[in-house]
Every structure is written in C-alpha cells, then in structure tokens.
Amino acid sequence: MSVLRVEGLHAGYGHIEALHGVDIDVAEGEIVTLIGANGAGKSTLLMSICGNPRASRGRIEFLGEDITRLPTHAIVRRGLAQSPEGRRIFPFMSVLENLQMGASTTDARHFDADLERVFTLYPILRERRQQRAGTLSGGEQQMLAIGRALMSRPKLLLLDEPSLGLAPLLVRQIFSVIREINVRDRVTVFLVEQNAYHALRLAHRGYVMANGKIVLSGSGQDLLANPEIRKAYLEGGR
C-alpha cells in the first residue's frame, strides 16, 4: 500500500516555480531516497508535501487521503514528520523541551516510552537533556532534529539531508539509525540526500531529481550501478 503519493506536483516561491510536475510514490515500510544536485528542488518537494509552499497544481496523498489543501499542522497530525533542511531545532529551548515539542501532537501516555526510545537511539541526547539546544554540536543537533521528529510517532519520516556538514563517522551513525528506525520501528522513510552513495546503499528505491523534475528512478542497487549516476553524483566524492 502506498503511504505517500505525489502526482504532477507543481510548486514554487512567489512567481518562481521550483517543481514542474513531480511524481513520487512511497510504499509502506520502504526507505526511498531522492538525490540530486543543489537547487534541483528536493527540499522544496519535502516542504510542499507539508503544505508550505503550497502546491499550485497536482495532488498529494498520504495514506490514501488527499492532503494537498490541508494546513501544515493538520498534515503532520496525520502521522507525517519532517526533519527539515538546516535541522531547525529550537535553539533557546533545552534538548528535553525540543523533544517535548516533537510530541505535542501525540497522546501523553506514550511520552516516557518514546523518550526512552530516542535516548536509546541517541544516548548523547540523554546526557545533554537539560542543555540549551543551540549550544549542541552540529551532529548532536541533527540527532535532536531526528529525535524530535520521531517523538510524534510518525508513520512516514521525511528527512532532509541529515548528513550535511557532518564528519564521516557521524554520517555512518546517522544512516545506521535511519535503518534501525525503518526495521525496528517500522517507520517508512523518505530521504533527501546529496550524499548519493550512502543514500542509495541504504534505500530500497531511489529517485533522481534535476531542475524540478524526476529524471530517473529505480532500485538503490540499479541506480548505484547506473553509469550516468556514477558520473554525475558518485565519482570524485563519497
């Protein structure tokens, strides 16, 4: 069953259109990645799935329901969470408060168990729970952003470049947690990445975006082996 279905989506900022008819399909239990160069429209796609910027044309379905015209808070309350570009943790709140904010849409009875789960995935957050989030390192902020998204018990997790600006060891750690969330917690993941090599190895399927359109799609293995992909996104950088 498809969790997320995007059909012919057009969206942009003001008069500038960034997405020119995008089709995406994410099935339950999958990790699907979206790769592409800077400015291809990847982040715009994630944000417009959440209703900001709003789709000017096309249709977005979440768990079979049309969410194209819903306000952002109503969309995420249906079980979709995003860890957005730039992490956007609340810098003047403590780590714990950030996680509490993530849980603002869920039943308070789950809170302790969910918190424990996030602390198990990222033990450093437990140590830093009373620290102001703005003073965390980049990697810790990324863990917090993912943790905050998980606190809402999402059925679908949208991740925007979780590896950006992190040291290789941390990148590996972030990716292994994404796999664990997918396998153990059965969260469907839609992952936007520039780090194509890691993303394609992790994902079941991938899409390639260029200039606001999907130009290629296939299984992670196929895309990794595709000579065009290798030339454009893989060789010269891992």
Q: Is 138 in the site for other proteins (CB under 8 A)?
A: yes
Nearer to other proteins, 48 or 226 (CB): 48
Residues 143-162 that bind other proteins (CB under 8 A): 148-149, 152
List the one residue from 7, 23, 27, 105 that touches other proteins (CB under 8 A): 105
Residues touching other proteins, count (CB under 8 A)? 29
Nearer to other proteins, 92 or 227 (CB): 92
Three-class SS of the chain: CEEEEEEEEEEEECCEEEEEEEEEEEECCCEEEEEECCCCCHHHHHHHHCCCCCCCEEEEEECCEECCCCCHHHHHCCCEEEECCCCCCCCCCEHHHHHHHHCCCCCHHHHHHHHHHHHHHCHHHHHCCCCEHHHCCHHHHHHHHHHHHHCCCCCEEEEECCCCCCCHHHHHHHHHHHHHHHHHCCCEEEEEECCHHHHHHHCCEEEEEECCEEEEEEEHHHHHHCHHHHHHHHCCCC
Residues 152-211 that bind other proteins (CB under 8 A): 152
**In the complex, minimum distance from the CB of residue 107 to other proteins, in angstroms, rounded to a whole number:** 13
Q: Which stretch binds other proteins (CB under 8 A): 33-41, 91-99, 188-196, 199-207?
A: 91-99
Binding stretches for other proteins (CB under 8 A): 50, 52, 71-73, 76-77, 81-82, 84, 86, 88, 90-93, 97, 100-102, 104-105, 134-136, 138, 148-149, 152
